[in-house]
Amino acid sequence: MRLSPEVDGIERVSPRQRLRSAFLTGFAVTIPLIVTLLVLGFIVNFLTSTVNPFVGLVNATFGTEQLPEYVIEGFVLAVALVSILFVGLVAELSPANGTIDRTVTQVVTRIPGVGSLYRSVDEMSELLLNSDTESFQEVKLVEFPDRDSYAVAFVTADTPEVIEIATENDSMTTLYLPMAPNPVMGGHVIHVPDERVCDVDMTVEEGLQSIVTSGVAVEEPDGSAPPGTAGAPTRGE
């Protein structure tokens, strides 16, 4: 006689189901940790490659070749952080707040071949480091790089009329499409017809979080499914 899978209101769980549940639970617990470690590893590698030229300079100046390289790298990073803090304090406490920043920007932007690069990075840093994220107006989904493949993008400004005229579109949206996992290092500014832009129920902070974590760590409001999983995205009006 075959027993019912449910006895006295208690559902029997097969070993296979239990293993599957344990695997999914472990997956949900470890993936955020792995992604966090990957992002931290990327940051550490970037900082290490940045300070390497200064390590040689410190060794040549102070004769510290006998010390482990990681000690010199830590020293250089500490000096860099203290210098950044000092510059920030001086800039904030100066009588004319913002004068130092404007002066540095004016000087660097006049250097041929360097000015345009500095200006681009400076503007993008201001966009991403703005604490109230006013620079990014809202989050949208746009088909990229192919149809039916959606990417997270941010509304940055009204599309210039000259672009709408050139493309023969009456209404367009200008979007910034950042690259994951480091949106500061690159992205695309795209002008898209409004009918090709999709609304999505995400805050700017959640959109940036999805970019930095390569789409893994996205908050789910009230325990619901992530935006876009319950149905097709809504086209913008």
Residue-wise pLDDT for 13-67, tens only, equals: 788 888 888 888 887 778 777 877 887 888 778 878 888 888 888 888 888 888 8
Query: Model-level pTM?
Result: 0.44
In a domain, 197, yes or no: yes
Same domain, 119 and 185: no
In a domain, 160, yes or no: yes
Cα four-point dihedral sign 137, 182, 41, 33 = positive
The pLDDT score that the predictor gives to residue 133 is 47
Same domain, 181 and 117: no
The pLDDT score that the predictor gives to residue 162 is 92
In a domain, 121, yes or no: yes
In a domain, 64, yes or no: no
The pLDDT score that the predictor gives to residue 172 is 92
Q: How far is the C-alpha of 41 from the C-alpha of 36, rounded, in Å?
A: 8
In a domain, 63, yes or no: no
Higher pLDDT, 150 or 43: 150
Q: Domain span at residue 108?
A: 94-129
Same domain, 160 and 204: yes
In a domain, 222, yes or no: yes
Confidence of residue 140 (pLDDT cuts 50, 70, 90): very high
Average predicted confidence (pLDDT) for the chain: 76
The pLDDT score that the predictor gives to residue 219 is 57
Residue-level length of the chain: 237
**Domains identified in the chain, total number:** 2
The pLDDT score that the predictor gives to residue 225 is 44
The pLDDT score that the predictor gives to residue 96 is 62
Higher pLDDT, 216 or 220: 216
Same domain, 125 and 143: no
Same domain, 143 and 125: no
Confidence of residue 126 (pLDDT cuts 50, 70, 90): low
The pLDDT score that the predictor gives to residue 208 is 81
Same domain, 102 and 165: no
In a domain, 178, yes or no: yes
Same domain, 155 and 196: yes
Same domain, 119 and 188: no
In a domain, 40, yes or no: no
Q: How far is the C-alpha of 88 from the C-alpha of 194, rounded, in Å?
A: 41
What percent of the chain has a predicted confidence (pLDDT) above 90?
Answer: 8
The pLDDT score that the predictor gives to residue 109 is 79
Cα four-point dihedral sign 218, 220, 226, 227 = negative
Q: Of the spans 7-11, 159-163, 185-189, which averages the highest pLDDT?
A: 159-163
Q: Are 202 and 155 in contact (CB under 8 A)?
A: no
7: pLDDT strictly greater than 80: no
Token pair in block for residue 79: 């000096």
- Residue 150: φ, ψ to 5°: -105, 140
Same domain, 98 and 165: no
